[in-house]
Amino acid sequence: MEYIHINKLITTSIYKQIASSITEAIVSGLLKYNDKLPTEKEICESFGISNTAVKMAYEILITDGMIKRIKGKGTYVTNREINHTDLHAFLTAYNAGENISDGYTKDIILFDRIRKDHGIYRDMKLDTGEKCYLIITLVKSYQNPVLLQKVYLPDKYFPKFNKKYDEFNKLYEFIENVCDYKIKHLHSTFRAINASSAEALLLNVKTSDALSFVRTQIVNESDDIIGYVCSYFPGDFTEFEVIADAI
């Protein structure tokens, strides 16, 4: 609670001082996403102030999208910028290597060669035992994880991928320019899921929190599924709009 600063001798309202202190702590990174804030009672007792002042401060921070209340659990930092965007445009731009927005960083956290993954292998029509490259990427916006992406590239379509790995940066450009494939089309499906423990750890959310999940098949001119991408977005970071065209 050392980040809250109150001066009772100045004219600035106590609730504004509390709200300003917490905002500054969040913006500076002292308080991070999902950090739990003290209860109203704890702040009142620590500073000898009224409960009304703390309630007003928290209401301001909730309105500003800096914190959230979870009934029965407490008050938490929720300073993730909400992006309202077209899902297809976002993923296409990202995988094409285009600049999405300032403040984004991308890190490849795993490069592996696997021989099984039941659901993925079934969708890609691969037999268990067939080798497949797995690349896991984590994207952050101002240090907040906003996208976890798993890319699967079958060894039979990318036999020399290990030697070309250093050139793997922009997915679609890599497939077409480095590996000489022509992408015929992308087939994506979208649904809401609950985060597994592994996904929650990487995305800094809680297990069973809502995620937006997108599966994309990359199809070449011979109608082979040469790539498969699983994208996970924290539900409180990204809002997607689905538009149904009239037939």
Q: What is the CATH number of the domain that holds 165?
A: 3.40.1410.10
With tokens 């739990």, the residue in question is 36
Q: Which amino acid is at 75?
A: T
> What pLDDT does 92 receive?
64
Integer Cα distance of 240 and 238 in angstroms: 6
In a domain, 247, yes or no: no
Give the pLDDT means over successive 10-residue stretches in the chain (247 positions): 91 94 88 88 93 94 89 83 58 60 77 92 93 92 82 94 81 89 91 91 86 92 94 71 51
Q: Which helix (H) or strand (E) holds 221?
A: none
Domain of residue 172, residue span: 83-240
The count of structural domains within the chain is 2
Q: How big, in percent rounded to 5, are the helix, strand and coil portions of the chain?
A: 30, 30, 40
Q: Which helix (H) or strand (E) holds 23?
A: helix 14-28
Is the same domain home to 199 and 179? yes
The DSSP code for 176 is: I
The DSSP code for 177 is: I
Is the same domain home to 162 and 193? yes
> What pLDDT does 101 receive?
57
Is the same domain home to 102 and 180? yes
Residue 201 CA: distances (Å) to CA of 66, 73, 151, 204, 206? 22, 20, 19, 5, 8
C-beta separation of 146 from 106 below 8 A: no
According to DSSP, the β-strands at 67-70 and 210-220 are unpaired
Q: Helix, strand, or coil here: 130? A: coil
Those residues whose C-beta lies under 8 Å from the C-beta of residue 98, and which sit 6 or more positions away, are none
Residue 96 CA: distances (Å) to CA of 100, 109, 176, 205? 10, 19, 11, 27
Is the same domain home to 116 and 168? yes
In a domain, 4, yes or no: no
> What pLDDT does 231 receive?
92
